[in-house]
Amino acid sequence: MSMMIIPTTSDPDQSFVTTIPVDGKNLKLRLRIRYNNVAGYWVMSISDPNTNALILDNIPLLAGGYPAADLLEQYSYLGLGSACIVNVGNSSMDSPDATTLGSDFLLAWGSAD
């Protein structure tokens, strides 16, 4: 499975368009990533950048072990591929907090195979 790192920061409300190679096609998506202060975790919304139509909303960006690690597995029928949060900073935390997304924890995305 080939994955690419999606450029995120710990800005508490970020929105950008990105192109992700999924199953041999380039999938262009608008991502909005926000930190939920009350819940204490990040959430992601995915929309079509051309129409602004919402595809998925408020997906928790939580790290996990297989098979829970794939944030998009339950939405496989949408053809969005696979995404996961990866701990690259050897953090003792289970998931990114308000300051560690984009540094200690990265969002990786790619084909579902």
What would the two tokens of residue 22 be? 């999924």
8 A C-beta contact, residue 20 and residue 27: yes
Q: Is 83 helix (H, G, I), strand (E, B) or coil?
A: strand
pLDDT at 40 over 80: yes
pLDDT at 29 over 60: yes
Domain that holds residue 100: 3-110
The alpha carbon of residue 4 and the mean position of all alpha carbons in its chain are separated, in whole angstroms, by 11
Q: Which residues in the chain belong to E strands, given as ranges?
A: 3-6, 13-22, 25-36, 41-47, 54-60, 82-87, 105-110
How many domains does the chain fold into? 1
Q: What is the pLDDT of residue 90?
A: 83
Distance CA 97, CA 94 (A): 9
Q: pLDDT tens for residues 12-23?
A: 999 999 999 998
Question: Mean pLDDT over residues 50-76, rounded?
Answer: 90
Confidence bin at 65 (pLDDT 50/70/90): confident
